[in-house]
Amino acid sequence: MKTDDELKAENPELYSVARKGATEAPFTGKYVDEHAKGMYACAVCGAELFSSDAKFESGSGWPSFTEPANLAHVELRPDDSFGMHRTEVICKSCGAHLGHVFDDGPADKGGKRYCINSVCLELEREEEK
């Protein structure tokens, strides 16, 4: 795993989001309109986080998932910043801030919307496995 200094030098946007809790601008991330099959892993440490099977079009401007591929790889923390009560999604392996989870996802899939910053993800496409 890269140090924070290495991460900052190689990818300042990833550093800003993953280590400082920033958010990429909506509709700008590389995975907003991605429809390929595969596994989304943490861009910092490579932990498998979300399956493309759980991805859906939320219209929010960020990749959205109904559930993590493995709950053991994510941590949920209360986030009361900016005068809002939200739940932050963290990579349990490396502590990277990934995004937030909301209760406005598809009701037939559990009602959750994991709203994740594209810069924090790397898609391993099925054909690459």
Per-residue pLDDT tens for 62-117?
999 999 999 999 999 998 887 888 999 999 999 999 999 999 999 999 999 999 99
pLDDT digits (tens, 9 = 90+) for 51-68: 999 999 999 999 999 999
The count of structural domains within the chain is 1
26-52 residue pLDDT tens:
999 999 999 999 999 999 999 999 999
Choice between 11 and 2, residue whose per-residue pLDDT is larger: 11
Annotated catalytic residues are: 115
Alpha helices in the chain (DSSP H): 4-10, 12-20
∠116-47-72 over CA atoms, to 5°? 85
- The per-residue pLDDT for 82 is 77
Neighbouring C-beta atoms of residue 94, cutoff 10 Å: 17
Beta partners for 89? 76, 99
Domain of residue 58, CATH code: 2.170.150.20
Q: Among 42, 37, 33, which Cα is nearest to 14's?
A: 42
Residue reference for tokens 């400082």: 20
- Domain range holding 114? 4-127
